[in-house]
Amino acid sequence: MHRLNINGYSFNSRLFIGTGKFAAGPVMAEAVQASGTEIVTVALRRVDLNEPNSQQAPSLIERLSGSGVHIVPNTSGAKTAEDALRIARLAQAASGYDWIKLEVTPDVNYLLPDPVETLKATEQMVEEGFTVLPYVNADPVLCRQLTEAGAPAVMPLGAPIGTNAGIRTQDMLEIIIEQATVPVVVDAGLGLPSHAAKAVELGADAVLVNTAIATAGDPVNMARAFAQAVRAAEQAVDADPRGEQKLAEPSSPLTGFVHNHDTTAGATSE
Amino acid sequence: MIQQQAPRQNNNPRAQDFSEQLSSWPPELVDRRLYGVDTGEVRRELKKPSRSPETLLRLLSPAAEPYLETMAQEAALLTRQRFGHAMQFYAPLYVSNYCRNACRYCGFNCNTHVFRSSLSQQEALQEADYLAKQGFRHLLLVSGEDPEHVPVEYFAQLATKLRSRFASISVEIYPLRQHEYARLISAGVDGLTLYQETYDPDVYLVMHPAGPKKDFHNRLAAVEKGARAGMHRLGIGALLGLRDWRAEAFWTGLHALYLQRQYWRCRLSISFPRMRKAPGSIDPPCPVDDKAIVQMLCALRIVLPDADMVLSTRESPQFRDNILPLGVTRISAASRTNPGGYTFQEDTSGQFEVQDTRSLQHMIRTVYQKGFEPVLKDWDQALQTQQLQ
């Protein structure tokens, strides 16, 4: 596989980690490190930009600082393009963040993304110079529009967030991947390392995992397992798999005679 | 440039309002159904619970009691799936205990002789400043019902002054009209808490003999007015102890399911305020034990996986610690329930007796030790869809 490259930055790991659900205390930071990830998303609504040191317990950002991971704030909580823009601008002004994972999710229960507002926000954010990674439903046309609007990657969902259901949008993801001209990061719904491996085997450039790691009994080992699965799938793709065969290859072919006994070519051909 | 949007409305004429839905579940019917559930029905529900009133009714029934542990496991699992390990903190700020209502269960009712006061803006800011210094970022402004002492504009001005220091400001005050909620939102308020106290209209009438609160339907409709005005967070609940808790928990869940379907952009929270003895108030007519709270918390969590479940300092430290993993997602700490209670009126009596007096620092350590991530900030003024004024 090509090395993962987003907007000129290349990454060794194809596993991104989300943090909204948090594993308990320092475990999340340990899990992040065990995963080998280079991109961690953090909800801006959880970050105190005015008084960063006001939290009584050390924040995840503090725990991760110096570990070399790239922190990408997300716009979780935004219900409109305008909400997302406001919070992204605030984060940029306060802390210089210019990579944003765009989430516009007016449905507060299933956190399903609003395609119209996501596209609007992407257009505006690109114009303002952000590197925007939009979270979207597995909608191929929308992914093309976002790409044309300047998104350097798209993040379609595999299943509703938090469900651990695996890849339920496979047919649409395959179309998105086939048509993609930017990296495709499968986000949301991946519950097991095998789901992440499958996404990469389908041709996704990366995956983002949160719930499956944060809520596992042993988040650190689960993070490691995801990393290994993603790496294994990457190696499998590089090894050029033969893929599924719908038809068997018979040992006594029915069409062998066209090669062996071509009646029009005369008997001398042998 | 993107245009600022007005809050979206549901213009579907088929939308039914909640009082209509509530009237199709009258007290006699709900009681009869609750006490008629058999264990086979409960077992079937637990195999594949649906997000419906029928499931809730069965899980709240006496027949479900033997399955409390199964329900608790399911509730804990769902909470972890939907909320992870986050435990969010908030603090109430009582700004006024003047009240025109005669609620028989309340220590601040207009017939009791308690020390009455309303905080000036300056005093309220001083109290809020204290809470901010403790580390709180989510604030709940609370008052009695007396708009002469604390009019809508009082809260609007206060929110405007507070919003730079708090990530979220909610109100738990008397019912307002939609344009008044809109005014508060424009000042930076994002949440509305309004307990119906009891969903049984007859009990309601007995408990609220005088004052504007007498009007059951006005109170019931107010939450939706807030939602239509654009409140992000809606908090509901019944005061537990006024009536058999099973039916109250059922109606609360019915209300939540309705709000969730109708106002799907709003985040819901359900509280479990258990009636406490206060000077000048009656004893709880139908006391609610710990086991009952556990059953209703678990049943509501199973039917409403995404609702915040709130537990205040009305409950004892031991009970709070034990019940946290069963679905609780928001808690308060070191609350004072009288105006000025944090900084200059430490001695006057509160609306109810606070059982859990542990400090925020102490609670953060406790929550952390129990495997949760203490979250002090989980919202941002920048996420307010409406233009701030």
**pLDDT per residue over B319-369, tens digit each?**
999 999 999 999 999 999 889 999 987 776 777 778 889 999 999 999 988
Mean pLDDT over residues B58-68, rounded?
A: 96
Percent of chain A's residues with pLDDT above 70: 88
Cβ contact (<8 Å) for A108 and B306? yes
What is the structure's pLDDT at B281?
80
* Tens of pLDDT, residues B73-132: 999 999 998 998 899 999 999 999 999 999 988 888 888 888 889 999 999 999 999 999
- A 10 A CB-CB count for B194 gives 21
pLDDT at residue B4 greater than cutoff 70 = no
Q: What is the mean pLDDT of chain A?
A: 87
Nearest to B98 by CA among B343, B333, B351, B310: B351
By Cβ distance, the residue of A24, A45, A211 closest to B81 is: A211
What does residue B87 show for φ and ψ, rounded to 5 degrees?
-130, 115
**What pLDDT is recorded for position B388?**
72
Lowest average pLDDT, out of A43-57, A159-173, B5-19, B145-159, goes to B5-19
Burial B281-308 (b: 16+ CB within 10 A, else e): bbebeeebeeebbbbbbbbbbbbbbbbb
pLDDT digits (tens, 9 = 90+) for A5-52: 999 899 999 999 998 777 666 788 888 889 999 999 988 888 877 665
More confident residue, B281 or A142: A142
What pLDDT is stored for residue A228 in this prediction? 97
Any B CB within 8 A of A55 CB: yes
Query: What is d(CA A161, CA B56) in angstroms, rounded to the nearest whole number?
Result: 24
Domain range holding B92?
Answer: 82-377
> What is the pLDDT averaged over residues B243-251?
97
- How many domains does the structure of chain B reveal? 1
Q: Which residues of A touch B259 (CB under 8 A)?
A: none
Chain A residue numbers touching B86 (CB-CB < 8 A): 20-22
Q: Where are the beta strands (DSSP E) in chain B?
A: 86-96, 138-143, 168-172, 191-193, 233-237, 267-271, 308-311, 330-332, 373-375
Strand order across the A155-156 sheet: A155-156, A131-136, A99-102, A70-74, A39-43, A15-18, A206-209, A185-187
What percent of chain B clears pLDDT 70, i.e. is strictly above it? Answer: 95
Say if residue B14's pLDDT is above 70.
no
Q: How far is the alpha carbon of B96 from chain A, nearest alpha carbon, in Å?
A: 29
d(CA A143, CA A244): 27
Structural domain contains residue B55:
no
Query: Tell me, what's the pLDDT at A232?
Result: 96
pLDDT at A27: 82
Say whether pLDDT at A63 is over 80.
no
Q: Report the phi/psi class of residue B340: left, alpha or beta, with left for phi > 0 and alpha for psi in -120 to 50.
A: left
| Confidence class for position A269, pLDDT limits 50, 70, 90 | very low
Q: By CA distance, what is B165's nearest residue in A? A: A50
Residues B221, A193: Cα–Cα separation, whole Å: 48
From the candidates A101, A120, A198, A246, give the one annotated as an active-site residue: A101
Least confidently predicted of B141-150, B245-254, B270-279: B270-279
Residue with more model confidence, B265 or A186:
A186
Give the pLDDT band of residue B371 (cuts 50, 70, 90): confident
* Lowest-pLDDT choice from A214-218, A250-254, B101-105, B291-295: A250-254
Q: What is the pLDDT of residue A30?
A: 86
Residue of B nearest to A213 (CA): B84
Specify the pLDDT at position B186. Answer: 94
CATH code at position B238: 3.20.20.70
Over the stretch A75-123, which tens digit does the pLDDT of each residue have?
999 999 999 999 999 888 887 888 999 999 999 888 999 999 999 999 9
Q: What's the pTM value of the predicted model, to 2 decimals? A: 0.86
Q: Could you tell me if residue B231 is inside a domain?
A: yes
Chain B, nearest residue to A78 by Cα = B383
Q: What is the band of B50 on the pLDDT scale with cuts at 50, 70, 90? A: confident
Say whether pLDDT at A62 is over 80. Answer: no
The fraction of chain A above a pLDDT of 90, given in percent, is: 57
Average confidence (pLDDT) over B49-69: 94
Residue B181 in any domain: the answer is yes
Q: What pLDDT does residue A229 have?
A: 97
CATH code for the part of the protein at A4-243: 3.20.20.70
Percent of chain B beyond pLDDT 90?
75
Interface contact A197, partner B, CB < 8 A: no
Query: Could you tell me if residue B75 is inside a domain?
Result: no
For residue B58, being part of any structural domain is answered with no
pLDDT at B9: 58
Active site residue A101: yes
A80 and B CB contact within 8 Å? yes
* DSSP type of residue A256: T
Among B368, B369, B377, pick the best mutation site for testing chain A contact (most A Cβ within 10 A).
B377
Q: What are phi and psi of A81, to 5 degrees?
A: -60, -40
Do the Cβ atoms of A45 and B383 come within 8 Å? yes
Residue A53 has a pLDDT of: 53
In a domain, B203, yes or no: yes
Q: How far is B172 from chain A (nearest CA, A)?
A: 22
Q: Which residue has the higher pLDDT, B157 or A241?
A: B157
Question: Do residue A214 and residue B85 have CB atoms under 8 angstroms apart?
Answer: yes
| Total residues found in chain A within this entry | 270
Give the whole-angstrom CA distance, residue B388 versus residue B377. 20
What's chain B's average pLDDT? 91
CB hemisphere CA count around B329 (13 angstroms): 27
